[in-house]
Amino acid sequence: MTILEFARGPMLHFALAVFVLGVIWRIVTILFLGFKRYHSEPRNGLVKSLIGGMTVTGSRSWPHKEFIGRTGAGEAIGYGYHIGLFIIVLLGTPHVVFWKNLFGVSAGWWPTLPGGVVHVLSILTVTLLLIVLIRRISHPVLRRLSNFDDYFSWFITFTVMVTGVMAVFGLGGRYETILAWHIISFNVLLIWFPFGKLMHAFFIFPTRAVVGYLQSRKGAAT
């Protein structure tokens, strides 16, 4: 068995199992925590509270104008590389083929972007990830707040991106070898995903919605 066969075979299957079971475990444990019981009379009804939750989900996804001068650049960089990752993973032709083979579905209806566009986005996303790391290291507050989780999550995401770019442009060795390391790094990301801060992909919008709902229920302005 070659390293590529191992990466796209047993290791991928193991990583997918850990990812799925880990994500389910994290979500179930959060749900079992339950919600704090409020004994006061709700100020708003269910519908208005739900609308409040949805409103907060959107309004808290971008800084208020009072703070945008200080946080706007960081927000833009964060959105930039997240959008880049999203487009590359879901609209890049090699990845669409991967998803098709993985789930056994027809990808004829699945739109893809031209290779040149994906290449430019990949390089831009790698650049933004580097800027994120430099900003985290150089910013006094971010540096103090950062821990192993932050740096390892960045490292494995960056490794997946760099090895992918290297495979596409034929850099660093034989294509099969670089592709194998790309898939291995992706597998490591899947294994790490449920246990680190990468789980924010599942939690970020639901938690904002719940906070908005609870605040609206109490009649607080959000």
Are 215 and 38 spatial neighbours (Cβ–Cβ below 8 Å)? Answer: no
Are 49 and 216 spatial neighbours (Cβ–Cβ below 8 Å)? Answer: yes
**pLDDT bucket at 178, cuts 50 / 70 / 90:** very high
More confident residue, 145 or 216: 145
pLDDT, tens digit, 9 for 90 and up, residues 138-157: 989 989 999 999 999 999 99
pLDDT, tens digit, 9 for 90 and up, residues 87-118: 999 888 888 888 888 777 665 667 888 888 99
- DSSP character at residue 172: S
One-letter amino acid for residue 215 of the chain: Q
More confident residue, 8 or 71: 8
pLDDT of residue 107: 54
Q: What's the predicted TM-score (pTM) here?
A: 0.85
pLDDT, tens digit, 9 for 90 and up, residues 43-77: 666 666 667 777 777 777 777 777 777 777 888 88
Domain 3-34+76-202's class?
A: mainly alpha
Lowest-confidence pick of 125-129, 194-198, 201-205? 201-205
The structural domains of the chain, with segments of one domain joined by +, span: 3-34+76-202
**For residues 17-46, average pLDDT:** 82
Strands (E), 79-188: none
Ramachandran region, residue 219 (left: φ > 0; alpha: ψ -120 to 50; beta: rest): left
What is the DSSP annotation of 27-50? HHHHHHT--PPP-SPPSS-HHHHH
More confident residue, 105 or 4: 4
* Cα–Cα dist 94/76, whole Å: 28
* Cα–Cα dist 14/10, whole Å: 6
